[in-house]
């Protein structure tokens, strides 16, 4: 089995067979596709697959597929649920200080749990995972660095882009929240590390899904 992580890529399926990108290509500045074997060894087939993906964007072979997967989950946990319960697009979420601060708390929880599970996480927005944990704990220099990285990333986004769970909510589809923030919270219980922000966000998104409340930016103020 071969795995492939698409890192920091934004897309929207506007209709059957038609996808648009809502984040500028990573190119030489950020490697988008990370291809790896489950066992971690480099094989000719993953090298060939990475070469094929270079026709779309930058790609590399990784020996850390499981760490890449948890890193991707961490990035998704930061933004997907917030978009779903607020109705905000990617740019608006990054621009608003309140949602940025919730991003950081969500990431800090996910990273601590990933480390406890034995995963070696990759940098997020160019910063080591430990910097995100420090920012989530309120360390001023780390907070400044992380917020700067988030705001810098906003310059690569289009005005139309929004995370997939936010797209699902708009289209009336069942979301994947149980497999994003819900999974982080569940794994946290397994290793004895609470993830209260991820757990609360999961329930908030479900309330919007059930029609109990409307998607609104004010929803995350309860977090």
CA-to-CA separations, 125 to 122, 162, 186, in angstroms, rounded: 10, 17, 25
Per-residue confidence (pLDDT) for residue 116, from 0 to 100: 98
Q: Is 92 a residue whose pLDDT tops 80? A: yes
Q: Where residue 29 falls among pLDDT bands split at 50, 70, 90? A: confident
Region of poorest pLDDT, from 29-33, 164-168, 210-214, 217-221: 29-33
Fold (topology level) of 65-222: 1.10.1040
Is pLDDT at 112 greater than 80 in this prediction? yes
Report the pLDDT value the prediction gives residue 12, as an integer from 0 to 100. 72
**How high is the pLDDT of residue 203?**
98
- Confidence class of residue 3 from pLDDT cuts 50, 70 and 90? very high
At 26 the pLDDT is 73
Domain positions in the chain: 1-63, 65-222
Question: What share of the chain has pLDDT > 70, as a percent?
Answer: 98
| Banded model confidence at residue 80, pLDDT cuts 50, 70, 90 | very high
- Compute the C-alpha angle 89/183/87, nearest 5°: 15
Beta strand pairing status for 59-61 and 33-37?
parallel
Q: What is the mean pLDDT of residues 62-71?
A: 96
pLDDT at 13: 72
| pLDDT higher than threshold 80 for residue 114 | yes
Please choose, from the candidates 182, 221, 175, 184, the residue with its C-alpha nearest in 3D space to the C-alpha of residue 202. Answer: 182
* pLDDT range class, residue 154, cuts 50, 70, 90: confident
| Residue 42 reports pLDDT greater than 80 | yes
Region 152-179: mean pLDDT is: 89
Render the chain in DSSP notation, one character per residue: -EEEEE-S--EEEEETTEEEE-B---TTTS--EEEEETT----HHHHHHHHHHTTTS-EEE-S-HHHHHHHHHHHHHHHHHHHHHH---HHHHHHSHHHHHHHHHHHHHHHHHHHHTT--PPPBTTB-HHHHHHHHTT-HHHHHHHHHHHHHHHTTB-TT---HHHHHHHTTPPP-GGGTHHHHHHHHHHHT---HHHHHHHHHHHHHHTTSS---GGGGGG-
Section 34-61 average pLDDT: 94
């Amino acid at each position: 089995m071969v795995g492939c992580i698409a890192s920091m890529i934004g897309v929207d399926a506007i209709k059957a067979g038609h996808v648009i990108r809502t984040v500028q290509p990573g190119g030489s500045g950020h490697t988008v596709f990370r291809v790896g074997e489950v066992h971690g060894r480099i094989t000719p087939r993953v090298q060939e697959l990475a070469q094929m993906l270079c026709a779309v964007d930058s790609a590399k072979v990784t020996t850390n597929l499981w760490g890449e997967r948890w890193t991707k989950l961490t990035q998704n946990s930061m933004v997907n649920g917030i978009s779903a319960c607020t109705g905000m697009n990617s740019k608006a979420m990054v621009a608003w200080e309140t949602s940025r601060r919730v991003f950081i708390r969500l990431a800090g929880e996910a990273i601590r749990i990933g480390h406890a599970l034995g995963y070696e996480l990759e940098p997020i927005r160019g910063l080591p995972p430990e910097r995100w944990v420090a920012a989530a704990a309120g360390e001023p220099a780390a907070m400044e660095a992380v917020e700067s990285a988030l705001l810098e990333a906003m310059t690569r986004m289009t005005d139309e882009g929004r995370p997939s769970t936010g797209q699902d909510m708009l289209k009336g589809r069942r979301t994947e929240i149980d497999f994003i923030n819900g999974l982080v919270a569940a794994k946290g219980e397994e290793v004895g590390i609470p993830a209260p922000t991820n757990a609360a966000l999961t329930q908030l998104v479900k309330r919007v899904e059930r029609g109990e409340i409307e998607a609104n930016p004010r929803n995350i103020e309860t977090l």
